[in-house]
Structure 1
């Protein structure tokens, strides 16, 4: 490894495996200066003050407070010219595309990885003269607002199937912003405006569109016209918007379409009294509010103690882990039993195979959703080719 003078390249490495970090520091300290963290947020705080002297950033995919891809995406914005590497034991094709396209990852290494292999990869990335792709800067709530002004939004619908007999039981309505998505991922767009009034404007526009489309939902889905709609905690905690949420539910019901709301677990804290009050109000009116991405945060079980949520939707990474990770598999089986005893619905998204669907059915999952059953598509495609019940073989 060539060094300029006596300067060793500075490596920022984030991994929840303290043994790996200690081994790397001990073995490679003569060649590199390692700055190591087990907490992704603390690592970002350090990077914000030291981006100019950092030569390489390495992150594990799974970390306790911030997953590796999210960490590297933020690192890419903060230090766009610094190379980035991802360590992972099991990367799905979707996660890999996200790592490459949005986090601009230079190299992906499969764990477990030896120190020798890691050193070789680090040398190659640092010595490479290929410039790191720069992310597009400037995404802001005002850009989302401008997209709404030019009507750059539409809905797509992904089917949901009953686990017991694989019959169509509903769909999830998702938002797409085609022009804005040329430069940004849809998750980044929502993350940018989730705590800003523009999220209420976007959600209200989508609701108005859905009210207009309600007869078509009913015609194509019949008695299975049960739609899941995503909300932010910001919207749920805005009193005026809560009124809109209730009115929208009633309007859809009068048109023969039942609505269920979902709020991401990452946005919920157990002591958020304003949110819990809104959730309780919806429950009293018979309006179901589910915890989406359940298992992705640190408050999963604590949130169920409040008894204001009607059910959960398991995080897709947790669901995928059922086929390869013992702990993920055991947790999903156990939480299905807990939800059954509490009278809560439990659905799973990210289903990519019939084998996974069958395992979850045995565990007691009530609804299934994922590319194995159907991708999110415009309502027009539903009308052209109706989604029919599936056979057990999928």
Structure 2
């Protein structure tokens, strides 16, 4: 009988010894339901999909010859999936994503401790993000914009292979409001409200006015990333505004790309995907930001609407200390290389982390170790000083 207090985990593997070891070691943390037979597992899942919080499986084939995880994804699409892969080097990564549609990949043989760490991580990602304080509303953010509590800053981005400047990301700061709330809480309070369109519009206006200075400062590296809300991207009139803004910036010598947070994206949001494809058709790059922070990361890579991904800051931070994070980032780098996608990492805090990500094949980096966010005027002043010193 499956208990009612612990998370229910369905695990399917041909190795009964592994299943037994997992049941013995982890039964105090999770309620495991295990099968060696894919058809029996699918029958059980069909009757109990609402109770299952995680599915773990090897590439076990069903009677029809397809992959168990492929069938499981149709039966329980909202349940995250972990793939146990016995031979990653011999497996087509594209096929693995297409068939398994997994949340994480673990290479076999896998220890029980590593498996527990992976389960804990996926379970944490399923928990809802803490909402902003109830006192902070979209109207409060709108009032802050009325007061002029708005300041854009630029954070430089660097090519991973040689750490040369490759562009920048423009970030919004609201100094007065940030005395009481984090910038994440501010955005969370209005990301699904028309005020986010106003905020983004103001960012665009500033960028258009400053475009000649961006180009003078960065030259051929005048590539600037701008964050968008999914709400904005799905709004038809605002989508047209995004396209016009991109074209106006391009005329001024600055190429703009856009980023949307993974947590706001649903693979079943057909309107969003259609608009993302429309941008791609016009040569406008759209990236998945905070990649690895949600449970549909790999599903999103299957769609050709996106130009690349930016790894989640917490995931990047664990690369030099957490074997699971390190293996996942290495694997994602291989996937992106196979699919021709850009792979960026933010939150670079030291040289060891930068070196490790270079080895994995990340294409771009940003973080306080490489360059902190600063107002345009400060960056220009620093560049002028550097030019004077060279002279």
TM-score, normalising length: structure 1: 0.67
Equivalences, count: 280
Partner of 1:350: 347
From 281, 284, 296, the equivalent of 1:284 is 281
1:184 CA drift (Å)? 0.7
Taking a change above 3 Å as real, the CA distance of residues 251 and 63 of structure 1, as seen in their structure-2 partners, is: same
CA distance in 1 between partners of 2:385 and 2:159 (Å) = 12
Q: 2:207 aligns with which of 188, 206, 210?
A: 210
Whether the 8 Å CA contact 1:168–1:387 is kept in 2: the answer is no
Paired position in structure 1 for 2:227: 230
2-side partners of 1:231 and 1:18: how far apart?
Answer: 43
SS at match of 2:248: helix
Aligned residue number for residue 312 of structure 1: 309
Deviations 1:239-270 (A, max 9, x none): 00000100110111111101010000000011
Q: 1:386 offset after TM fit, Å?
A: 2.4
Question: How far is 1:388 from its partner?
Answer: 11
Match of 2:170 in 1: 173
Provide the C-alpha distance between the structure 2 equivalents of 1:387 and 1:330, rounded to a whole number of angstroms.
42
Give per-residue Cα distances to partners, 1:94-121, cap 9 Å, x unaligned.
xxxxxxxxxxxxxxxxxxxxxxxxxxxx
The 1-side partners of 2:385 and 2:298 are apart by: 35
Q: Structure 1 residues 337 and 249, CA, compared in 2 at 3 Å: closer, same or farther?
A: same
Cα distance between partner residues in 1 of 2:134 and 2:179: 13
2:78 aligned with 1:19, yes or no?
Answer: no
- SS of the aligned residue for 2:321 comes to coil
- Corresponding residue of 1:363: 360
**Alignment match, 2:246:** 249
Helix, strand or coil at the partner of 1:64: helix
Question: Using the alignment, how far apart are the partners of 1:67 and 1:186 within structure 2?
Answer: 22
Cα separation, partners in 2 of 1:370 and 1:387, compared to 1, 3 Å? farther
CA distance, structure 1, for counterparts of residue 176 and residue 229 of structure 2: 22
Counterpart in 2 of 1:293?
290
- C-alpha displacement at 1:218, in angstroms? 0.8
TM-score (norm 2): 0.67
Paired residues for 1:49-128 under 5 Å: 62=121, 64-66=123-125, 73-74=130-131
Once the two structures are TM-superposed, the CA of residue 21 in structure 1 deviates from its matched residue by: 9.0
Q: Is the 8 A contact 2:122 2:295 kept in 1?
A: no
User: Which residue matches 2:237?
Assistant: 240
Whole-angstrom CA distance in 1 between matches of 2:373 and 2:384: 12
Q: Quote the residue 1:160 is aligned against.
A: 157
8 Å CA contact 2:125–2:295 kept in 1: the answer is no
Indicate conservation of the 8 Å contact 1:172/1:229, yes or no.
yes
Q: Is 1:199 aligned to 2:196, yes or no?
A: yes
Match in the other structure for 2:115: none
* Residue 333 (structure 2) pairs with residue 336 (structure 1): yes
> 1:66: how far off?
4.4
CA change 1:65–1:278 in 2 (3 A) is farther
Contact 1:167 1:388 in 2 (8 A): no
What secondary structure does 2:383 align onto? coil
How big is the alpha-carbon RMSD for the aligned residues of Structure 1 and Structure 2? 2.7
Separation in structure 2 between the aligned mates of residue 191 and residue 18 of structure 1, nearest angstrom: 37
Query: Hey, what's the Cα distance between the residues in 2 that align with 1:308 and 1:147?
Result: 34
Post-superposition Cα deviations, 1:264-306, rounded to whole Å, max 9, x if no partner, equal 0000011100000010000000000000011110001101111
CA shift at 1:359, angstroms?
A: 1.1
d(CA) in 2 for partners of 1:285 and 1:62?
37
The residue number in structure 2 matching 1:377 is 374
Q: Which runs of 5+ in 2 are unaligned?
A: 1-5, 10-25, 32-52, 55-119, 387-391
What is the Cα deviation at residue 325 of structure 1? 1.1
Conserved? CA contact 2:224–2:255, under 8 Å: yes
**CA–CA distance in structure 1, aligned partners of residues 336 and 125 of structure 2:** 26
Give the aligned partner of residue 325 of structure 1: 322
Match of 1:50 in 2: none
